[in-house]
Amino acid sequence: MTPAPHAQPEARSGAGDLISRFVRELELVSGHATLANSEGEAAGQLAALARAENVHSVAIGRGITVDLDAFVPPLSQAGIEIVRADQVADGDRAAIRERIARCDLGLAEADYGIASTATLAVAADASRPGSLTLLPPLSVVILRAERIVPDLAALFAQLGPQAVAERRLTLITGPSRTADIEKRIVMGVHGPRALHVLLVRGRDG
């Protein structure tokens, strides 16, 4: 899986400039971006990453604009167990949370990305719980390139006050990190040790 190269800023601010800035800022917070020209290409990149990281189990929820069902076959063909967080009865929520916590990788789609800080905004619900991005040691987030906004104000303008009030919004900037008393940074103590963003620039079909 080849990380996205640094892109040169464009003369005028636009979609390409937002992508470039998001990728640059993501690398600064120890995240990894991979560009895909279609959902099918992104599915193949995920399978390649899972093999490289020796992943045995993947937790998947419902997508927003991307059909995450398309990501299942390449993983299953590699012998990877799939845990579906979007096909669980309400009474089994605690059990599925425990299963997600035991998975090697969590896959979710972000509602939006913020270019200025490479922050991912994920509005959770029952079919795409916040635990997908918080509990597995390896977090992979799919982001549509056209859903990258310049800053936090633009994010809240896109989401609208009702969505912010009614859904649990998680803002993710890089993998989990903490510092001990000697100020040494340790990754993954209280959340994912690594964050990969599959940045999808095109659509299948």
Query: What does 44-102 look like in DSSP terms, one character per residue?
Result: HHHHHHHHHTT--EEEE---SSS-GGGGHHHHHHTT-EEEETTS--GGGHHHHHHHHHH
**Quick one: pLDDT at residue 89?**
60
* Interacting residues of 40 by C-beta distance below 8 A, sequence separation 6+: 70, 204
User: Residues of the chain with pLDDT > 70: what percent?
Assistant: 83
How far is 29 from 62, CA to CA, in rounded Å? Answer: 27
Q: What single-letter DSSP state applies at residue 30? A: T
**Domains delineated in the chain:** 15-200 (3.40.50.10420)
**Quick one: pLDDT at residue 107?**
97
Closest Cα to residue 134, out of 62, 198, 50, 192?
192
- pLDDT tens profile 27-56: 999 999 999 999 999 999 999 999 999 999
- Identify the residue with better confidence: 93 or 133: 133
How far is 56 from 59, CA to CA, in rounded Å? Answer: 11
- Identify the residue with better confidence: 189 or 102: 102
Lowest mean pLDDT among 25-39, 82-96, 125-139: 82-96
Checking if the pLDDT of 4 tops 70, the result is: no
Checking if the pLDDT of 10 tops 50, the result is: no
* Interacting residues of 175 by C-beta distance below 8 A, sequence separation 6+: 29, 30, 31, 139, 187, 188, 191, 192, 193, 194, 195
Checking if the pLDDT of 5 tops 60, the result is: no
> Encoding tokens for residue 152?
């936090």
Mean pLDDT of the chain: 85
Lowest mean pLDDT among 44-53, 94-103, 180-189: 180-189
**Quick one: pLDDT at residue 91?**
59
How far is 53 from 205, CA to CA, in rounded Å? Answer: 30
> Encoding tokens for residue 193?
């040790």
